[in-house]
Structures are given as C-alpha cells and as structure tokens.
Amino acid sequence: MTPEEVGQRMVALLAPAEATLSVSGGQAHARATVDVPPASWPEALRAARDDAELACDFFDWLSAVDELAEGFDVVAHLWSTTRRHGLLLRTRVPRQSPAVASVVDVYPGAAWHERETHEMFGIDFVGHAGLRPLLLPPEFEGHPLRKEFVLASRAAKPWPGAKEPGESEAGGGRRPIRPPGVPAPGEWGAVPTPAGAAGAGEGPRGGV
C-alpha cells in the first residue's frame, strides 16, 4: 500500500470520527500521518493493529511535540512487518490539562515510551499503572522538553562551544549570540508562560 492508501484506510476505519490525513516528507521513506481526536486515540491504534490491510503489528515509538499555546501533539509510529509499511498517528491534547488514554493494553511496548513522555512533557496517560520517574531523579522539578523550560546548566556557566567567526580570544568582533536554551539577561528564574497557555508553568526551573 502507498502512504496515501494507508492513510485513507485509517481514516475510513475511524469514521465517523474526524481524522485528517497527510503524508510526511522523506520521498521513499514517506509515511502516512493521520491526526485523530484524543477520544479516538486508543481506538486508532487498535484499528491499525487489528485491521487485516494495515496489520501494524510492530510498535516503534511514542513521544510528543510541544506546540506551545496550541497544546502538545502525542505521536506514535507503527510498522507492519508483513505489509512493510509505516503509519504515524497523532493526537493533540490541551496544554492546561494534557491527558490521553494509555495504549499499553494495545501495545505493551508503549509502557516505557509513555513513562518517558509523561516525565519529559508532563502528559498524563490515563490508565497507565506505573508513570513513575524513568530518566530523572525523583527530586527534579519540571518537564525539560517543554519549550518554556530553561536549561539551568547553560545559564550557570559560559557556553563551551567555539567562538563565532571573527571573534578573537581577547573578545570583541561580532556581537555574541546566546545559545539555545540560555535566557536573556533578566529572564532567569521566572520565564513567561507562552501566550494563551495560562497555568503551564513549572516553578523556578521551568517558568511561572
């Protein structure tokens, strides 16, 4: 099946729920991408697994993308070992209360991925029995893959990278450019919440 055919089949299986089809880039590696409502998330993954034409029997990965005021996109990549095609499923959850049903009962391999996504983005996977810390120490505050999270280590010491072209060891030359994750002067300690994202702060490390 072509990526378009994979996506069209997924959309048909979810009807009458609203699902939107697109195709990722990558030429020969392009994938059907289907956006589904949060309420249809478990149903979509189960349909992709059980449908004879899609037969997505292999769970590859699950993560999220921070879209700031628009919320978070939860993304799952599935693969069919018999049909040799892939499928990206995506759903958007609101920033104020980011939650979606767990799919561990559909793909047990999703358990680790949901734990990591919960830890890094603060998204709750309802029904997951063990959303405990996976990579960070228990005392860590905030969710480091949210875009408003300040990288404290970069603010605490100078950027270790190479100097900009034209800069001498004694300084001068081009105006220094702040590296990604380093707040502007006066911003460290309390980072403004993205526009329209009231209540998304993470305390002293990640904003107010």
Above 80 in pLDDT, residue 151? no
Domain boundaries, the chain: 3-154
How high is the pLDDT of residue 201?
42
Tens digit of pLDDT for each residue in 83-142? 999 999 999 999 999 999 999 999 999 999 999 999 999 999 999 999 988 898 888 888
Q: What is the pLDDT of residue 80?
A: 97
pLDDT of residue 7: 96
Look at residue 173 and tell me whether its pLDDT is greater than 90: no
Tracing tokens 């104020």 back to the chain, one arrives at 96
Q: What is the mean pLDDT of residues 145-170?
A: 65
Sequence-ordered strand ranges (E) for the chain: 20-23, 32-35, 58-66, 72-79, 86-93, 99-101, 124-126
pLDDT at 5: 95
Q: What is the pLDDT of residues 34-56, one digit of tens each?
A: 999 999 999 999 999 999 999 99
The domain 3-154 is classified under which CATH number: 3.30.460.80, 3.30.70.100, 3.40.1180.10, 3.30.200.20? 3.30.460.80
Mean pLDDT computed over 7-21: 95
Task: Output the pTM of the full model.
Answer: 0.73
Cα distance between residue 64 and residue 69, in whole Å? 14
User: Token pair of 120, please?
Assistant: 């890094």
Within 10 A of 141 (CB to CB), how many other CB atoms are there? 12
pLDDT score, position 198: 45
Question: Which residues are paired to 66 by β-bridges?
Answer: 72
Whether 194 shows a pLDDT value over 70: the answer reads no
What is the tens place of the pLDDT at every residue in 54-75? 999 999 999 999 999 999 999 9
Check whether 182 has a pLDDT greater than 60. Answer: yes
Considering the chain, what is the average pLDDT of its residues?
83
Return the pLDDT at 150: 78
Distance (Å, rounded) from C-alpha 38 to C-alpha 15? 14
Strand (E) or helix (H) holding 45? helix 41-50
ω into residue 16 within 30 of 0, thus cis?
yes
Cis before 3 (ω within 30): no
**CA neighbor of 110 nearest in space, from 82, 74, 68, 158:** 74
For residue 15, CA distances in Å to 51, 199, 204 come to 14, 34, 45
